[in-house]
Amino acid sequence: MWSSMQTWTAMSNKNEGLADLPLHGSGRWCSGGNQEVNDYYEIDMQQERVITKIELDSRGERMPKKYKVEIARDKLPVMYEDRGDFSSHLVRFDNPQKFRHIKFTNIDPDILANLPKDTIHSWCIYGVRFYERRLGVVSWPIKVR
């Protein structure tokens, strides 16, 4: 684990008070209601890092059908660059990307039609694993608990 990870922060448009829990190994973040378009989860790593891929632990069915990934460098104001749409737990960049902020935005909610009445299907993140480019060749897995 990176020594500076305890300073990382997360935010979201739903249940923001729980957003840091997956980063610091103390729980999970969930949207708290049925998934909706434009629900987002954002991580600020406090400094730029060179990342090759990211794995979201959403425990199988607790994620959108599709989400958009945006990244931003260490500049103010934060200006996001779109890095594409993803439909699995794995975000793999064609080339290593240098960024400080990453934002995951729900663009295709997974609402299960056969859920019992009054059952919610929220988006949950239990953990995030970043792979950082090091020594020009190897991607090191860095698990954010």
- What confidence tens digit (pLDDT) does each residue in 84-128 have? 888 888 898 888 899 999 999 999 988 765 666 677 788 999 888
Strand-pairing partners, residue 50, are 98
- Angle at the Cα of 103 from the Cα atoms of 30 and 134, rounded to 5 degrees: 115
CATH of the domain at 11: 2.60.120.260
Instruction: Read off the pLDDT band of 1 (50, 70, 90).
Output: very low
* pLDDT for position 4: 67
- What confidence tens digit (pLDDT) does each residue in 50-92 have? 998 898 888 766 788 899 999 999 887 788 999 988 888 889 8
Q: With 50 as the cut, is the pLDDT of residue 145 above it?
A: no
How many domains does the chain divide into? Answer: 1
Q: Could you tell me if residue 60 is inside a domain?
A: yes
- What confidence tens digit (pLDDT) does each residue in 9-60 have? 999 999 989 999 988 878 899 998 888 999 999 999 999 999 988 988 887 6
The boundaries of the domain holding residue 44 are 7-110+120-144
- What pTM was computed for the model? 0.85
Q: Could you tell me if residue 54 is inside a domain?
A: yes
Euclidean distance between CA atoms 19 and 126, whole angstroms: 10
Q: Could you tell me if residue 2 is inside a domain?
A: no
Q: Could you tell me if residue 1 is inside a domain?
A: no
Question: Which among 8, 42, 40, 38 is positioned nearest to 25, based on CA atoms?
Answer: 8
Q: Tell me phi and psi for residue 17, to 5 degrees.
A: -60, -20
